[in-house]
């Protein structure tokens, strides 16, 4: 059975646009699928890039290149019910951003692709399908 939709989180997106070792496997896992994410992922990508300015890990030129790479990834943004996300956040003791991703996977009935170990564990607690990327 071929997976039609995959819910992707910020950690996986950053690994792809940042040319991390997991990129090849992430691309392989998502080939032919429609990527879906909560709209919050857009702001999380911006937040992650801005966090890299403080330790001078990247400059504005690199950040803008990463944003171009992000913009080239076709991701369908899905609405997430805020009440559902807050309830998940309280129940699982996770930040709202993680709850948005989990709610998205529940509502889309789609597997989750993340490199975040904590999010992966919470997804498994909810009996969600989780795709595993090989780390090299």
Residue 136 domain-assigned (yes or no): no
Give the pLDDT of residue 134. 78
**Sheet containing 112-113, strands listed edge to edge, beginning at the edge strand earlier in sequence:** 75-78, 34-38, 5-8, 112-113, 130-131
Instruction: Render pLDDT for 37-81 as a digit per residue (tens, 0 to 9).
Output: 999 999 999 999 999 998 888 999 999 999 999 999 999 999 999
Residue 23 domain-assigned (yes or no): yes
User: 84: domain CATH number?
Assistant: 3.40.50.1010
CA distances to 41, 106, 125, 135 from 14, rounded to whole Å, are 11, 22, 25, 14
Instruction: Render pLDDT for 81-91 as a digit per residue (tens, 0 to 9).
Output: 999 999 999 99
Q: Which residue has the higher pLDDT, 55 or 92?
A: 92
Residue 27 domain-assigned (yes or no): yes
> Helices (DSSP H) in 1-136: which residue ranges?
10-17, 23-30, 40-53, 60-71, 82-92, 96-108, 117-125
Residue 42 domain-assigned (yes or no): yes
Does residue 136 surpass a pLDDT of 80? no
Residue 96 domain-assigned (yes or no): yes
Q: How many domains does the chain have?
A: 1
Please compute the mean of the pLDDT values over residues 105-126 and round it to a whole number.
97
Residue 41 domain-assigned (yes or no): yes
Q: Which residue has the higher pLDDT, 81 or 134?
A: 81
Residue 66 domain-assigned (yes or no): yes
Residue 14 domain-assigned (yes or no): yes
Domain of residue 101 covers 5-131
User: Is residue 133 very low, low, confident or very high in pLDDT (cuts 50, 70, 90)?
Assistant: confident
């Amino acid at each position: 059975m071929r997976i039609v939709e995959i819910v992707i989180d910020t950690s996986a997106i950053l690994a792809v646009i940042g040319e991390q070792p997991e990129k090849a496997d992430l691309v392989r896992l998502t080939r032919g699928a429609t990527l879906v994410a909560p709209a919050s992922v857009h702001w999380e990508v911006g937040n992650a890039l801005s966090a890299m300015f403080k330790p001078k890990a990247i400059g504005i030129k690199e950040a803008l290149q990463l944003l171009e790479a992000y913009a080239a990834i076709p991701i369908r943004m899905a609405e997430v019910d805020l009440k559902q996300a807050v309830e998940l956040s309280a129940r699982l003791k996770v930040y709202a951003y993680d709850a948005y991703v989990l709610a998205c996977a529940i509502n889309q009935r789609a597997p989750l692709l993340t490199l975040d170990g904590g999010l992966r564990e919470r997804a498994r607690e909810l009996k969600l399908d989780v795709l595993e990327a090989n780390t090299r």
